[in-house]
Chain A
Amino acid sequence: MPEPELASTAAGSDAGAAAAGPVPAVASVWSGSTLRELFSYPITGPLFALVVIVLVFSLTTSTFLNAGNLSLILQQSVVVGTLALGQTLVILVSGIDLANGAIMVLATVVIGSYAAHGDPVTALLLGLVVCVAAASLNGLAVTRFRLPPFIATLGMFTILTAAARLYSQSRSFPINSDLITVLGTGPSIGTITITYGSMLWIVLTIVLGYALTQSAWGVRVYAIGNSPIAARLNGINVNAMIFGVYGLAGVFYAFGAWQALGRTPIADPSGYQIANLDSITAVVIGGTSLFGGRGGVAGTFVGALIVVVLKNGLTQAGIDSLYQQIATGFLVMLAVGVDQFLGRGRRA
């Protein structure tokens, strides 16, 4: 019975994305406790975790809970958050992209070096081309050459990291163009600054969330993640869809590169070395299943905030930053553990 299952999955993520709406059909299948029903929404767990973490920091650190710091957290989240949108797409079709940070960094140095002498609009377009081309290569390796996504993108990660260093000769490029750095600016009241980059991140999340939950394309993405065989039997061109998903993720990496240059107006080939892992962490903590087909971008948005809040809060609390890494690690394991638990429940 592939058809009803597809429908219910899409509906479930719809409700999750909107954090409201009717109880999805899939939840009513379980006659368990209401708590369990609540946690059947992929976003409940991450939101709960975020609230707890924010509460703890607010109670222990006097400077954490003020509007200025909260707007700062939003600014610190945009790069990983935007990368994580692309990562969510890839993970929803049971893939993974270890190369997204390297793709973004390559784009930033291409943009930075071109903009040093050339037109900023062309520079940004070049960045977009770099990202979509590199991400499509990932897609090609996964669909056409049947490489496991982990291996294909691990290879791309290594290649592109070196390529960015070679291309830039390990130099960094200061950015002087207002257009390229515009995402780091925005209206401010007192200590609060809501950058255009923060707004863009929210808009991108809403647009992608809408497409995933309200369009036929979105239903297909979830269908492939749930069962590629069932999807194929339902007439979906699975390979073409997966290739498209990887390429589309590249568009988000390009936005990530623009965000990165807005935040830090220097294109630095040694920057964002662990952005790939941070983006995966954000997606997983956000409740998207590494097995594909479950989760969504609203969770990822919250997941990215959790990653950054931990860094920001623990630095402010004066706690050794190695503990921050330990805390993030535990959260990832907890998130995957919950996913496993719920996954078993659904299959039962």
Chain B
Amino acid sequence: MNILRNAKCSRQLFARSALMAASLVGVSLYGASVTHAADPVRIGIVELQLSNPFFGKLQQAAVDAAKKHGFETMTAEATVAGDSATQIAAIENMINRQVKGIVVDPANAYALIPVVKKARDAGIFVVTTNTSMDPATSADASYETDNLEAGVLIGKWAKARLGSTAARIAMLDYDLSDKTAKARHDGFLKGFGIDDQSPEIAGTALTMGNVETGQTAMESLLSAHADINVIYTINEPAAQGAFLAIRQAKANVLITSIDGSCSGVRSVADGTIGATVMQFPTKMGEMAVDALAKAIGGGEKPSGVNNSGTILITDHPADGVESKDSKWGLQNCWGE
């Protein structure tokens, strides 16, 4: 996939050099103003590491939406989680290339503030996807999953499913300095009606959001607290890892998660995961680019923090919590 993109990049580069050569000729013949008028509207799309299919889907949706609006796109992406340096350099390049708008998925809520300010001072509209800046008003608007709400949904679901049984909860987190991870964690507790100090919490562990670390963390937690009966997991791979530990320990545990990847929804369908919350990367990318198009066209400027949707996916619906089944989930999921 990367190779394809590189080929496309070099084609674009060639096209751009040709365009530049043409405009140079243009400048010498007619003067700068003529060529500027012929320049296509260009927008920048800055993503997080594309090794995660979620961000790949989001970028693809944004590029497709830009094409629909007749925009030319410049894309860039962070190489690893938290890599804001690459993103800052990319946005600086985009300012130089005089893009009209930028869609960015910030690797860090603070680190990008100065460069985004520079872009907006240059008259460029900047919107964020997936997560917002801190404060959110540093950019024009954001289009993201309401992760707190996502957490609340699985918290409520777990509480309802458990009924009168006393809860023994394990929290399988990702680094809580990450805004998304913190919102999901807090949302789950809120939905369940408890807080970090509540005695219902048997233990917490840090995972890296993958199968292997989810498994090891859950093994250690179950070894200490065999009575755990509910777990929150940061994402579906961690949940799948936790399931391996639970199966080996022959424990009976309600597993909740968040993401809505196709692999995760399949785990809901086969009973591994009790409930997960789906996010909608495609919608996120489309909403962001549509908002930019409106503003670039002289219409309404984008503003606020806009929820791109959260839907609980489970085959065991609980009273008072709206949900869809895994069949619907499989038709609307993202990634593999």
- Cα A229 to Cα B203 in complex, Å, equals 54
Q: Which 10 A-B pairs have the closest CB atoms?
A: A316-B224, A321-B206, A315-B220, A271-B212, A63-B224, A171-B336, A69-B223, A270-B210, A312-B220, A165-B51
Q: B203, B237, B336: which contacts A270 (Cβ < 8 A)? A: B237
Number of A-B contacts (CB under 8 A): 78
Residues B241 and A264 in contact, CB atoms below 8 Å apart: yes
- Cα A272 to Cα B215 in complex, Å, equals 12
Listed A/B pairs (9) with beta-carbon separation below 8 Å: A68-B223, A166-B3, A260-B212, A264-B212, A272-B212, A311-B216, A312-B220, A312-B223, A316-B224
Question: Is B295 an interface residue, CB under 8 A from the partner?
Answer: no
- Cα A316 to Cα B225 in complex, Å, equals 8
Find chain A residues with CB under 8 A from B56 CB.
Answer: 170
- Cα A141 to Cα B12 in complex, Å, equals 36
Interface size, chain A (Cβ < 8 Å): 33
Question: Is B263 an interface residue, CB under 8 A from the partner?
Answer: yes
Chain B residue at smallest Cβ distance from A71: B223
Query: What is the predominant secondary structure among interface residues of chain B facing chain A?
Result: helix
- Cα A315 to Cα B245 in complex, Å, equals 15
Find chain A residues with CB under 8 A from B296 CB.
Answer: none
Find chain A residues with CB under 8 A from B225 CB.
Answer: 63
Contact with B along A27-56 (1 / 0, CB 8 A): 000000000000000000000000000000
- Asked if A72 meets B215 with Cβ closer than 8 Å, knowing A63-B224, A273-B208, the reply is no
- Cα A200 to Cα B220 in complex, Å, equals 22
Contact with A along B199-226 (1 / 0, CB 8 A): 0000111101011110111011101110
Find chain A residues with CB under 8 A from B223 CB.
Answer: 63, 68-69, 72, 312, 316
- Asked if A166 meets B212 with Cβ closer than 8 Å, knowing A318-B203, A321-B205, the reply is no
Residues A170 and B221 in contact, CB atoms below 8 Å apart: no
- Cα A61 to Cα B241 in complex, Å, equals 25
Contact with B along A74-115 (1 / 0, CB 8 A): 011000000000000000000000000000000000000000
Find chain B residues with CB under 8 A from A270 CB.
Answer: 51, 208, 210, 237
- Cα A265 to Cα B245 in complex, Å, equals 12
Residues A72 and B219 in contact, CB atoms below 8 Å apart: yes
Question: Is A294 an interface residue, CB under 8 A from the partner?
Answer: no
Give me 16 other A-B pairs in contact (C-beta within 8 A), A166-B2, A264-B212, A271-B210 excluded: A63-B224, A64-B224, A69-B223, A72-B219, A169-B1, A170-B51, A170-B336, A171-B336, A263-B215, A264-B215, A268-B210, A268-B212, A311-B216, A315-B203, A318-B204, A318-B224
